[in-house]
Amino acid sequence: MVRWLVVGALALLLSGCDETPTGRNRIAWIPQAMMADMGNETFEQMRHTMPVVTDPAIKRLAECVSVELVGALGESWPEADMPNHWDVVVFDNPMPNAFALPGGRIGINSGLLQVAQTPDQLAAVIGHEIGHVIARHGNERLTQQLGIQAVLMVIGLASDGEVSSDALIRALGLGSQLGITLPFSRAHEVEADRIGLQLMARAGFNPKHSIELWHNMMELDDQQPFELLSTHPHHESRIAVLEESMSQASEVFSSVPRAACSPL
């Protein structure tokens, strides 16, 4: 029995080794269908426990930007196997933040609209968050947190293989959203920046507005901790990463129709 347990775990481990869209090796053991179910359940809990913005103009902007980005997914990453429709909700929360979850769910805080001053800037944030989903960062984080327990849970060999809500929240990148520590790692953030930049350009949003967005963030947050003490890249480092990838993104942007989302 033990031998077959090891063989099964090893087979699952090997099947979970692949590459992210940027070519980085990763191990993501959890089946995507399970991640989607977890994401949907978490999103519905948030929808019922957090106030939701009902202003039609705000909802229209959030949905327009999200639809344009989702529409560009298939052209850029057809192998990503993402949903064709994503549910978009704007939460009444002053924290300038957003998130995307497996299963096709996008949450945007109303406070973000004070920082993302144009549809293109908003696209930079939402594209970044969708980048986390495309790269399966939540899956990777959950695999790392649960370790062999995740393997046993997936293949049905653990009687107590329950995923705690805190572990799931951290793995899905909702830590800062819900006041729990451990957002995505700096490596994941940089990767999502690069993916999001390409995605927004493909969707017809000006990628140069991503840099304008982070200048806005710098003005908002003059008291940011030292980079080495933060899981998120420093704003200036983030801008440098975007500038490195800007030439390719700008070339893509010049070849596609412009997104037609009206500002507030």
Q: What is the DSSP string of 89-145?
A: EEE---S--EEEETTTEEEEEGGGGGT--SHHHHHHHHHHHHHHHHTTHHHHHHHHH
Amino acid, res. 30: I
Q: What's 232's DSSP letter?
A: S
The C-alpha atoms of residue 20 and residue 80 are separated, in whole angstroms, by 10
- Scored b (16 or more CB within 10 A) or e, 86-120 reads bbbbbbebeebbbbbbbbbbbbbbbbbbebbebbb
Catalytic site positions: 129
